[in-house]
Structures are given as structure tokens and as C-alpha cells.
Amino acid sequence: MAQASGVHVSTVSRTFSAPHLVNPETRTRVLAAAEDLGYRPNRAARALTTGRTHNLGLIVADIANPFFSHLIKGAQAHARTRDYHVFVADTDEDPSVEEELIQTLAKQVDGVLLCSPRLSNRVIEKLHEDVPFVVVNRRMKGMSNVLMDVGSGAREAIAHLVSLGHRRIALLAGPAGSWTSKEITEAARSVPGIDLTVLGPNSPTEHGGLALARPVASSGVTGVLAYNDLMAIGLVEGLTSLGVDVPGHVSVVGIDDIVAGRVSRPKLTTVAMPAEAAGRTAVDLLLQLVGAPVTPALATLATNLIIRDSTGPVRDALRGDP
């Protein structure tokens, strides 16, 4: 293959073991020669030689949540450029399942991307002794973290509601144990001049938002910030069924910017989370850890508010049960 592609044998080896170290044009030539010759690297043999599987684990809280699909796509696509494959596992928001999956994957992968974990810090620190981690959407001392600046996004969302005249605002919190929900709550409580009602913890699903429609409608609030877009969409559905107009009576803001929020009616005002970028960044940080201990790194990615149709000026505040 070296002769066919016109490079040294060591360059062929690097193309398959560390492709990021090979000039893109050279890498393309080597891969084309490999394709012509029908060559496929034996990953099992390579693992015996190098001690690396060239596999990564990616554990998410709920694979059905579209937010995680963007993160998975970003991580998988970026890992492929580094000649790594990604095993994806779903905990269904269950900490015990999360712990079991980490223990299982630790034997089969070079490192684990742990996204929005529900385990306690103490358990994560213990599991980290067995396999390199990068934790996404939770700040963990002694580990590499990728954070999306959701606190800043939440403050921007509430400032938007305030600019429209809303002062009585509800926050629909996420699941118990969620670092993201804690950050959103602390950020919302830091905004002066509002009467904030926190409802939760809640299931971070459309059903969770739907179940909160009556409490929101009877609370007298005129603005709502939801933990994520799924809850916001469920809330809008529930309010509409109760005869509560969005945004005529109640303005609603979500967090994530999933596709469903862009096509729902009204189109959802939301805080866009850089999920794909977080997946790519997490892979980069994890591969820095694989094979060589390095100082843990922290990457914080910016969020931004996208204003659509589900928010508007204060008009009619509801009072009492609808």
C-alpha cells in the first residue's frame, strides 16, 4: 500500500492510527489506495498492539430528546475524522442505569463522554478511576468539562420577557439532579425586579410541560421560561386546550432550539444550545486524555436567544382557574 500511494510505510500506519497527524492530501491518497486494494484495518489486532480500542462511549440521559441527537451527530462525525467509532447508550434519566452503562463501557472503550449525567458527583468521581471521562453539561473538578452557557442564556431569555413588560414569570424546572436545571434556576433568581415562581422538578418531556398547563394558567404569570423546548411545546399545547392564548395571555420561552420548536404554532422563542459543537469539542478533549494524562480542560460554549412568535407584550394576565 505504501508503494501504491507513494509514501513511506510509517505514513500509512499513521493514516490509520493517528489520521489527524497526516497531511489531508496525503491521507486522501493513502485511503484511496487502501480502497483500491480492498484493505480494511483489523481493529482487534490494532488494539492488542496499541492498547487502544479506537472506540469511545457516549452516554446521554434520553436519546429520544432531539437535543441529544444533535450532540450525538456532532460527536460521531468528528470522531470518524480521528479514526474513532462511538458507542451510544441511553440512560432514560435513570442514575442506576447510567452507572451500569459506564461500568460496562469502561471495558470496551478508550474513554467516555458523559452527557447531562444524573449520577451524584461522588459516584462519577469513583467511576472516573476506571476510564477517562469528559463530562458535558456539568462542572466537575478534576475532569475535563464541556459546558454550554445556559445560565447566560436563561438571563437573556428573562431579560427579553422583562423588555416586553412581563414581571410575573414562571420557571419550569427540569429533573432533580440536573446541573443544567440548577444553572437555569440560579440565573433566573438573579434577575432583579421580577416575581419568579419556580415549578418543579419536572419530567423534561412534552408530557411534563403539558401537565403544568393548569398550574401555569391559574398562577397569574404572564411569562414562562421552560427547562427545554419539549416542555415548552407541551405547555403551549396544554394552555391552548384551556383557552389560554400564547402569546396573547402568556408568553413562553424554551431552551435548546430543536426542529419541533421551529415548526410548531406559534413558533417557539428559545435559547439555542450549541449541541453539535459541544459533541465535537468533547471528542477533542477526550482524545487528549486517551493514552497520556493531561491537565483537565474546561470549554464553555456560548448560547444565544432566538426570538420567534411565542413571546409578545403583556396584554391580559389571567387570574384564577381558567
Residue 221 is part of which domain span? 150-273
Q: How many domains does the chain have?
A: 3
C-alpha cell at 255: 431552551
**Cα distance between the two ends of the chain:** 74
Do 192 and 216 have their domain in common?
yes
Element (H, E) at 17: helix 9-17
Beta bridge pairs of residue 226: 172
Query: Each residue's pLDDT tens digit in the chain (322 positions)?
Result: 566 667 676 776 666 666 667 778 887 776 777 666 666 555 544 544 455 689 999 999 999 999 999 999 999 999 999 999 999 999 999 999 999 999 999 989 999 999 999 999 999 999 999 899 999 999 999 999 999 999 999 999 999 999 999 999 999 999 998 999 999 999 999 999 999 999 999 999 999 999 999 999 999 999 999 999 999 999 999 999 999 999 999 999 999 999 999 999 999 999 999 999 999 999 999 999 987 778 999 999 999 999 999 999 998 555 444 4
Residue 210 lies in a domain: yes
pLDDT tens readout for residues 1-24:
566 667 676 776 666 666 667 778
Residues 151-190 have pLDDT tens digits of 999 999 999 999 999 999 999 999 998 999 999 999 999 9
Tell whether 141 and 281 lie within a shared domain.
Answer: yes
Judge whether 189 lies within some domain.
yes
Residues 86 and 113 placed together within one structural domain of the fold: yes
Same domain flag for 31 and 134: no
Residue matched to cell numbers 468533547: 282
> In CATH, what number is assigned to the domain containing residue 189?
3.40.50.2300
The H-or-E segment that residue 133 falls in is: strand 133-136
- The answer to whether residue 46 sits within a structural domain is no
